[in-house]
Structures are given as structure tokens and as C-alpha cells.
Structure 1
Amino acid sequence: MRALGTDSSIKRGVASVRGSFPGLDRGLAADEERMFGDPGQVHGIIQPRPEELDPRVKDGVVLSASRLEALASCPLRYLHSVVLGIRSPDDPELDPDRWLNPLQRGSLLHSVFEASLRTSRADGIKPDEADFEGRALDILEERVGVFRSQVPAPGEGALNREVAGLREDVRSFVRMIRSDSADSIAFELKFGIDGDEPVVIALEGGRLRLRGAIDRVDQDLHGLHVIDYKTGKADDYGADVFGGGRHLQHAIYAKVAEERLGVEVVDGQYHFPTRKGQNQRVVYDRDEMSRLEDLLELLLDGVVRGHFVPTNDPEDCKYCDFSDICRARRGKYGKVSSPLATWAKEHTGDVVSPEFEQFQKVRSFEK
């Protein structure tokens, strides 16, 4: 303080500190550039390296639908996770009121849904028989036991509440299955996983290799129905088939099912078989999904240019593993604020910055 006080330095304390700590000074300068500068390196703009980054031409690169959706929702997230290989800390956090986080809960329910249908089909138990619900609830209890050994419960009260809720979700799933008339022919149809060959989609810019697992494939007289379970709400799935690139799974999985099973796909469906999802269905028919390749080309052309810009919609930051890097925060009532999304919005208004051109083409693909 004495040093800062000489020669009126106290009045320029920030400048004095920045001058004394060059690393801090560079960090503050980068932060200022990130918030107020033109698109550049601090915003995810990198030197184009298509031979290294374009999955259509780079040998050995296999992507999932979720990674392509991440690229569409926020290219900067893709840069962090896929290009740079950053992983968020997997440190368990004790919540006295909650046993499983949303990801764990969804994983548990998916495994119960798959095992219930697969084992019942093998044993000749039809969904409309009473034994089917009993089988599903028994499998739930078994999976709860497995998860308990991996994820300690904060207390018996929280555990009992969640298990009761899971039972209701499984009963909701049973009701939804009983309302389906088509015959289920495949469960957890994997591709590009566990030694299985990836599925290849031919694009103008090259060959895109894909991996994943289709929750369920049904068949009726008209063809195949490709189904993916979601354990949340259907609010984000609407009239736009691709949701500005955020929803690609149904169309990608439809391509995969046709190739693997050799039967034409009628539609791709998202099912919401839980209390929260209210057993809603969102269905996109074959014609609506037909422009998938065009959208993927636009999406990957942004990778070729090295334009990994941040999203201009703070809602995309809600469940992002890298929200702390971007200083995104959730408010008291769930509203998300993101300084980088605000900055990006300024560059995607009436005049679109060149670095955001591909991003905007993807966003407005269906408009």
C-alpha cells in the first residue's frame, strides 16, 4: 500500500497491479477483448486446418449424433470438447435432497426400458399382460441396487422419494408401450461401438463416420419407426424438424436403421415416457428428415473454416459442461445469463459478422 501511495499511484491502483503482474494483465486484456472485441482467437476463431479437423476427410474420426448437435448448438462447445479434448471434472457433489442427477436418472431409466422390452420379448410376455409391468418394476429394483452401490444416497428419505418417483416413471412407460400398435424388432441397436463398424453417411465434402445406439426400432406394414427416449419434457421439440441443428438424432438414426435393417424408415420419433414428459410423442416423417445431408454439410463447413463461435442463445448454455469457462450463470428462477451469448447476438443481428455466417445458415436452415 505504501508503494501504491507514492506519486499518486493509489489513484491508478489497477494499472499498477497490472503492470506488476504481466500474466494477470494479459488475462484481463483477453477478457476485455472477449467481451467487447471483434471475433478472434478468444472467441474460438482458429486457423483453418481441414485436414486435421474436418471429420469428412480426417481418417479415424467417428462422431456421435450428440456431438454433432453440440456443434450446431454452440460451435465453441465443440471446440472445447472434441477439438481440445477438455473434460469437465467428474467430482461427485452431495445434495442432501437428491440421490441421482438428471444424467444418472436418465441412464437408469433407459436401461430399465431396454431390458424390460428385450427380456419380455424373449420370454413371450406381451406388453398388455400384467406380467410385463411386474417384469419392468423388478428390473427397476435390480438396477436401483446397482446404482446404490455406485452412487451413495444422501439419506433414506431422499432415496425413498426418488425410488417412488422412478416406479411411477416406469409405470408411465408401461402405459405408453401398451398404446403402441407396431411390433418392436430392435432394442439398443448399436453402431460404431464395442468393435462394431461405424455407419458412413456420404456427403459432398467426404464421408462422415458415425457411432451411437438407437433406443428402439418398431415395424408395421408401412415400414420402420425409429424411436429415441427422452426423460425430460417435450418443450424444446416443435415444428422445426432440426431445431436449428440442435436436433439431429432422429434423422441420423433413421439413416442408420435403414442401412442396418434394410427396410425403409417411415418416421423418426422422440418418446417422453415419464411423468414429466407426460407420455408425449414428437414425430417427424421421412420427407421432413430428407434434408439432413444438406444441413450436415453446412455444419461441417464451419469446422473447415475454423469458426468455432459461441452460441447467441443463452438457453444453449443451461446444461453445458463449459458454462464456467464462458461465465454463464443460472439465476434464481432458472433463467440463464451468458456474456458470450450476448456478445454473439451483437454479431448475428441485421449485419452478420463473416465468422458467424455458417452458424447463421445452420440456425436459419428451416426458415
Structure 2
Amino acid sequence: MRECISVHVGQAGVQIGNACWELYCLEHGIGQDGVRKGEENLLLASDPSLGTFFDETPSGKVVPRCVMIDLEPSVIDEVRTGAYKNLYHPNQLISHKEDAANNYARGHYTVGQEIIEETLDRFRRLADSCSSLQGFLLFHSFGGGTGSGFTSLLLQQLEQEFDKKSRLGFIIYPSPCVSTSVVEPYNAVLSTHSTLHNVDCAFMMDNEATYDICQRKLNIERPSYNNLNRLISQVVSSITASLRFDGALNVDLTEFQTNLVPYPRIHFPLTTYSPIMSNAKAFHEGMSVAQITAECFEPSNQMVKCNPRTGKYMACCMLYRGDVMPKDVNSAIASMKIKSNVQ
């Protein structure tokens, strides 16, 4: 068994985590109380890869291998009282009395220091329950005080305690068009510096790009954070699918690092997702492997607002999910290589 522990820090991290675990439960046939239901789920019950993200209790209930942390209680309280309140272990939901007030220094040096030991103790217990811990998946934003300051403090401690374990990040970068605070750029710069040394691979996303995808591709007139989080959870689910399900070509955490990181400090890959379409179109359109592959290189499908066509790709990792033939994939990638706009 190669277990992964998910770490959700700050408001963005916890809310994305809530959306991700809801989706994982639907994909694995797990109810809101952590109990598998239905005859078809007996097949999933015998699936050993389920234990990568879930821990099974003697009573047959499954518990996520995750820790949710925030310096103020309101967001964690939503999880404690929400639809999936019986899914999580109460000790894995850690909150404090006062928030970081969008201040990196408060999250890293003052308020964050008060709960770091309790948090690390929870990680030690979770790691002890794993037979072969593979690494950590971190979910947080760079704009908030907790997501930036406390995460960098936590990463320093995790590197000391779990030096040989992989650390992958799913990072929400601030963007000027969808901004909640004037100090987001400062938090992002300070947090990025700590990520250079303490994270092995960081998948980047930003609110502006996901907001545009919701408007243009999913036809949502005024997307809420709930819509953004559900879209991000779909992307995360697809990246982690090979960790959670058995397959012919499974990828583990170290392989992401090997395939996508040309130099240790350049470990911030772009994330793109395809196909993205609204419910109304989903049952009326069919897309070939070649079309899906081509869409992955379109800027409109990126989770970050930038134009990669002005530079060159140093590394690329394509993850296909579903009934896809390797022959079709090879021909689709061969046709992409001869296009002048993808280099």
C-alpha cells in the first residue's frame, strides 16, 4: 500500500478539500457517513488502491487520510456541521481562535506557532497508521495569511520530520481581477520563496482562469467560489485518479516529479483540463482523443492565465482517464508535435 495524506490549509484549502472529498466519495461509492453502499460497491471494497486515500476502520467505515487546518473556526465549523460531518475524524479538523488577517507574518510567526505542534502530532499519528507512506498533497492559496504563512511554516516542519517523502502542492495563485485583499501579492511572493525549497512539485491554478472557464465553457453567468472549487476538484480528481484506482499505467507521486520537473527549483507546472462542457452539451457532443488532446494545449483550458505559446514546453505529462486506446493517444500526440504553435 502506498498511502497519501492530504493537507488542506486556510479557507481556500479547506473548501477545495471539502469539494474534493465529496467527489472522491462519489467516485468510490462511499456514503456521506463513510459507509460503502450497494452491491456494485462490493467490487470497490476489494480494491486495494482505495486505501491510498482512505483508512478503513474495523467496523467497515472509511475515513479520509487528511488534515484540515485553519486559524479561525468558521470554515472548519462548516465542515463539522455540513453534509459530510460524519465522514471526517474529529481530530483531523484543526481550528484556532483568531485568523491570520491576510498577514503572512501572523500565519508564520505568531498565531501559526500556537497550533503547529498540535498539527504535527496529528500528522505523526496519521503517518503511523500508514504501512508505506508515499507523501503529502497540499491544498492552499498563496493570497491568504493562513494559506501562505502557516503553510510555509508547516512545510518547513514536514521537511524536517518526513524528509524522504514527496510533497506535491495544489496552489491557488491570486489574480488582480478576482482579488479579496490588497496584500495578496506580498503573501504570494513570500510563500513562493518557501515553496521553492520545501515542495517537490506545485500544480498552479488561479481564480481568474477558473472564473473564466466557468463563464465561457460552463455557461455560469456569475460563478461562485463553490463553482470554482467544484471545477478545481474535478482537475485534482483526474490528477490523483491513478493513485486511487488500479490501472495499466499507474503513476505515483515520485513519477510526477520525475516527468515534470526538469530542475529542482523549476517545479511549477501548468495544469490544463479537457473536455470542459456544460451539462446541456455533455449528452449532445462526442469528442475524439485527438480533439481532447488538442484542447489541452489551448490557453482557454488552462487553470492559469498565461500564454505558453510564447515559450517552449520543457516537459509535458498527459493523463487520460476512461476508455482510451494507447494507439489513439500516440497518433494524437504525434499530430500535436507537428503543429507550429506547440513547441
User: TM-score under structure 1 normalisation?
Assistant: 0.26
Relative to the length of structure 2, the TM-score reads 0.28
Please say which structure displays the higher CA radius of gyration: 1
